[in-house]
Chain A
Amino acid sequence: MVPARATMVILDPADNVGVALADIGVGEAGRSLDGRAVEALEPIPQAHKIALVDIAAGAEIVRFGVPVGVAKAPIAKGRLAHVHNVASRVLNNDEDNYE
């Protein structure tokens, strides 16, 4: 049987988020090359991050083994980790906008 295509990448074993390689729909599994799978509780668009474990408020978001931000609120396993629940430790632009 041909294994299902990887739809997320875990860049370092220490990471608590995976990066979606393709759009992952609700209820679908984010699947990494090494066979880890996490069910998406909400849509995870390509290039966005999915929580691999339950992340507590105040905990670091770790990508590629490097802290890249802090959880502003608890992020459940399978949820989208993004600007609504992740803050920079360096710089947060108040006036950011995009359409």
Chain B
Amino acid sequence: MNSPDIAPSARMRGYVRADRRKGVRNYLVVAYLVECAHHVARKIAAPFEDEGVQLIGFPGCYPSDYAERVMAAMATHPNVGAALLVSLGCEEFHRAKLKSAVEASGRPVALLTIQQAGGTAGAIEEGRAWVKEQLPRLRAAPTAPLTFADLVVGLKCGGSDGLSGVTINPAVGRAVDWLIDEGATVMFEETCELVGCETHMARRARTPELAEALRDAVLKADAYHRDLGHGSFGGGNIKHGLSTLEEKSLGAYAKSGSRPIDGLLKPGVLPPRPGLYLMDTVNDGPVRFGIPNINDTQTIVEMVASGCQLIVFTTGAGSVVGQAIAPVVKGVSNTRVFERMEGDMDVNGGTIADGVESVEDVGRRIVAAIEKTAAGLPTKSEALGHQEFVLSYKTYEPLGPACLPG
């Protein structure tokens, strides 16, 4: 893509962390470690919701390596500057381990245990006092210039329609090619929505071993959903013109652009170097704990756990979601939904179907939207206060040796 009209990236600024990663936001996260602590955590965060205090958490009481890995990745994410952990006190989450991990990252952290803080009222008071004490320092934190090579961008689609694969997703693909050429790191996801694309995808792999791993990841997703009896297709997809999972997959795959694929990730694994990665979003092993990703937000959370500082999300039916830690840039496939929901949409790709703009034009606007977001300007969903977050039980084996070729 020739992009002379994209402004120099000097305007993008970020927060440099001890591990050299850079954040585009400096959030304080309030994290509940079991559903029983959710209410207290929400009450602590509520007065500060427009001041960069974000609510995340894991509802389960039973232990989960996966959930603990994701929560640790969230609390030490480059967009996070401090973390308040809210525990009931008797859940099985390894809270001391999480606290140590945040401390080791150089971030201020506090562990608030409701059962020891005088119950609900005492815990809310103590939590709010800690947040209040932290905010001035977070606000005053210095920033440094960012380039596109500092960015880790996640791609997601939700509520796709029959035009997603014609307009906005190919435009995202052009933007991704451009970002990769600038040295950025990009990941795409939803192996269960790439069924039918595995052969083409394998041809783009850096090594033959990675090609095999990419193919296996899609076949695993296909087999898992077959056993489960329900795949990632239906409802709104059908209403908006998509007839089969294969057709939806084809459209979703267009987001990944045309560059070689450098690796296969699992949630919480950081990309070792810039390039294009596929996120494996489906459990390893037999069907366990049910549907792998219960909604769009869980997949986004998994990419954020692997270091994405921002997400590009495309929709046809009109999704409104944001994310608690990574700003979401929203693109829409058709002008009808754009006009109906303009307040939620950052980029209209419907102009391609209308014959007004080219895929290239919209791709450029997506890059410009990413640049603005990394410069600190709020996306539509951020400005509206969206901060979706969800985490459920899953099981993963460690990554195989072929997944991240050296």
Contacts and interface: CB of A to CB of B under 8 A. Distances in A.
Interface string B117-158: 000000000000000000000000000000000000000000
The B contact surface, by secondary structure, is loop
Contacts, number: 107
Contacts of A64: 165, 250
B59 interface: no
Contact of B161 (A47, A88, A91, A97): A47
A47 B163 contact: yes
- Which of A20, A61, A91 neighbours the largest number of chain B CB atoms within 10 Å of its CB? A91
B230 A82 contact: no
Interface residues of B, number: 34
Given A68-B243, A86-B243, A90-B195, A49 B162 contact: yes
Interface in B195-253: 195-196, 222, 225-226, 230-231, 233-236, 238-247, 250
A19 B166 contact: yes
A97 B240 CA distance: 13
- Which of B234, B247, B336 neighbours the largest number of chain A CB atoms within 10 Å of its CB? B247
Nearest to B164: A47
A90 B244 contact: yes
Nearest to B247: A68
B368 interface: no
Contacts of B247: 61, 63, 68-69
Nearest to B240: A47
A47 B350 CA distance: 11
A47 B316 contact: yes
B47 interface: no
B353 interface: yes
Nearest to A44: B241
A59 interface: no
B241 A45 contact: yes
A21 interface: yes
A41 interface: no
Contact of A6 (B165, B241, B245, B355): B355
B246 A67 contact: yes
B334 interface: yes
29 contacts: A6-B355, A9-B166, A11-B166, A19-B163, A21-B163, A21-B353, A21-B355, A22-B353, A22-B354, A45-B241, A46-B162, A46-B334, A47-B162, A47-B242, A47-B316, A47-B334, A61-B243, A61-B247, A67-B246, A82-B238, A86-B244, A88-B243, A90-B195, A90-B245, A91-B195, A91-B225, A91-B245, A93-B230, A98-B238
Interface of A: 5-6, 9, 11, 19-22, 45-49, 61, 63-64, 66-69, 81-83, 86-91, 93, 95-98
Given A5-B355, A11-B166, A88-B246, 9 more contacts: A46-B334, A48-B162, A49-B162, A49-B241, A63-B250, A69-B243, A69-B247, A90-B222, A93-B234
